[in-house]
Amino acid sequence: MHEETASALSAFDIAALLVVASALLGWFNHHFVRLPHVIGLTVMGAIAAIGLMIVDALVPGITLDNWVADTLEQMNFTETLLQGMLSFLLFAGALHVDLDRLKVAWLPVLLLSTVGVIISTVLVGLAMWGIGSMIGLAFAPIWYFVFGALIAPTDPVSVLGVLKEENVPQSLQSAVAGESLFNDGVGIVVFIILLGAAVSGNEFSFIEGAELFALEAGGGILVGLVTGYLGYRALAGMDEYTLEVLITLAVVMGGYALCSQLHISGPLAMAVAGLLIGNHGVTYAMSDVTRDYLLKFWELLDELLNSVLFLLIGLEMIVLTVGGNVLIFGLLAIPLTLVARAIGIFVSTKTIPAARLQDKGAGRVLWWGGLRGGISIALALSLPPGETRDFILAATFAAVLFSVLVQRATLGRLIEKLKDDHAPAVEESAQAVR
């Protein structure tokens, strides 16, 4: 019965189910739970998943896990998520990064989004490999590094809201947003390279990987600059907000399709294009009306996609067989990712004097504010089916859930503590507000 139902669902039916479910959970959270939207949706999705698992286990004749598995299989995650949604998420995030302020902290941002990502990927991969060996998992070692790459990207959306509420200096806000934006692009390139080697079964070569990284990243940046500039010129020649929103959509979809054909990094290209349009386009090529409509449109799209992704990871938990090893693997991923990020931040911002962040307490804010979110979920969901995917999904779910429920919820307290310690950066910000 469930097979017939699942096979009858069209792509539109599946999309409709996800959007309706996200809207209902968001409505319920807004009226009754009253948590911040991202946290609330994560909690609601987790509760819904647990509830459905209980119903599936206790009520005879109901096979929700099979129905959900069949439905999710139809969505083709690799095509839908890795080759589509990520481009929209990165472009939307880049629109809000202030390039002038980012230039001030360009070196630490560059090191954090490259050296920091690589350090985090390697350390998490080695640590998870050790855990897998201890509990008897028979995965190829490279899969542990695939997990390290997908969990390295951070999500600045909810963090920036907290930083603004707490009057954190704009320089630190820009550093957090810039680092997150580019570590997303870099992390995705590293993930794609490692995943290709893992799926093919070929031995991974660091030299070939470095060459492929340079080609994909360099090509993506170049295409991003070209498409972003063309979009900027098109926006500058008119004042019609509906058409200008359409042009930005064309930049994202057309630019990403071009990158796919050229086998270069589409996500990194869209991050660069979004950065260009979000600064020069918004400042010089748009009226106030257009600017308002365009930014709100992309904020809404970013919120919708993140909502769907958090719901999807909850649905995936229904079809997982959660045994002892899965729980161990997932729970240990939480402290290991935190330790790896701390080391990556320390190496990136402390070893070179010019890369040191000037704002006092910035390292702690970057560390605890390095939330995992929609990007990591999308990458995990795009993995090929199998036992390896189940373990990586569980670890991703645990790390994302902890970062949203614990780190995001307590980030404000950490900043308040820095204020109590009379951090000069916070004092300067407070004087600026007055």
pLDDT in tens, 309-352: 777 766 766 666 666 788 899 999 999 999 999 999 999 988 88
**Res. 138 pLDDT band, cuts 50 70 90:** confident
pLDDT of residue 56: 66
Confidence check: pLDDT of 423 > 60 = no
Q: Which residue has the tokens 């920036």?
A: 160
The yes-or-no verdict on residue 284 having pLDDT over 70 is yes
- The helix-helix angle for 288-319 and 86-94 (nearest 10°) equals 140
Across 44-53, average pLDDT: 69
Q: What is the pLDDT of residue 76?
A: 60
pLDDT at residue 253, as a whole number: 93
Residue of higher predicted confidence among 82 and 262: 262
Question: What is the percentage of the chain residues whose pLDDT exceeds 70?
Answer: 82
Token output for 110:
């560059």
Q: Given a cut of 50, is residue 48 above it in pLDDT?
A: yes
Distance from C-alpha of 379 to C-alpha of 396, rounded to nearest angstrom = 10
Q: Are 29 and 44 in contact (CB under 8 A)?
A: yes
- pLDDT, greater one: 398 or 306: 398
What is the structure's pLDDT at 80? 62
Q: How far apart are CA 155 and CA 159, in angstroms?
A: 8
Q: What is the pTM assigned to this prediction?
A: 0.82
d(CA 46, CA 427): 39
Residue 9, pLDDT above cutoff 80? no
Q: Whole-angstrom Cα distance, residue 230 to residue 232?
A: 5
CA–CA separation, 391 vs 56, rounded Å? 21
For the chain, report the end-to-end CA distance as a whole number of angstroms. Answer: 65
Q: Output b/e per residue, 265-277; b: 16+ Cβ within 10 A.
A: bbbbbbbbbbbbb
Closest CA to 371 of 190, 184, 185, 189: 184
* Predicted pLDDT at 320: 65
What is the DSSP code (8-state) at residue 139?
A: -
What number is the average pLDDT over the span 183-203?
87
CB 259 within 8 A of CB 269: yes
Q: What pLDDT was estimated at residue 329?
A: 93
In contact, 128 and 325? CB cutoff 8 Å:
no
| Residue 340 near residue 389, CB atoms below 8 Å | no
**Residue type at position 194:** L
Closest CA to 285 of 343, 337, 239: 239
User: Which residue has better confidence, 360 or 413?
Assistant: 413
Q: What does the pLDDT read at residue 79?
A: 61
Section 373-382 average pLDDT = 82
**Contacts for 97 with CB less than 8 Å, ≥ 6 apart:** 174, 177, 178, 181, 274, 275, 278, 279
Structure tokens at 31: 């009226």
pLDDT at 122 over 90: yes
Residue length of the chain: 434
Overall average pLDDT of the 270-276 stretch: 91
Tokens representing residue 138 in the block: 């028979």
Higher per-residue confidence, 431 vs 162: 162
Write out the two tokens for 54. Answer: 């209980």
Residue 329 per-residue DSSP state: H
**Across 127-141, 335-349, 381-395, least confident range:** 381-395
pLDDT score recorded for residue 433:
38
Most confident of 45-59, 102-116, 154-168: 102-116
The one-letter amino acid at 45: G
Two structure tokens written together for 275: 């950065």
Say whether pLDDT at 143 is over 50. Answer: yes
**Is the Cβ–Cβ distance between 424 and 361 less than 8 Å?**
no
Residue 323: how many other CB atoms lie within 10 Å: 11
The yes-or-no verdict on residue 6 having pLDDT over 70 is: no
188, pLDDT greater than 80 = yes
pLDDT of residue 358: 74
Lowest mean pLDDT, pick from 108-117, 361-370, 417-426: 417-426
Q: Which long-range contacts (CB under 8 A, 24 or more apart) does 160-163 make?
A: 160/96, 161/36, 162/369, 162/408, 162/411, 162/412, 162/415, 163/365, 163/369, 163/415
Question: Sorting pLDDT into bands at 50, 70 and 90, what band is 243?
Answer: very high
pLDDT above 70 (res 195): yes
Q: Which residue has the tokens 């702690």?
A: 364
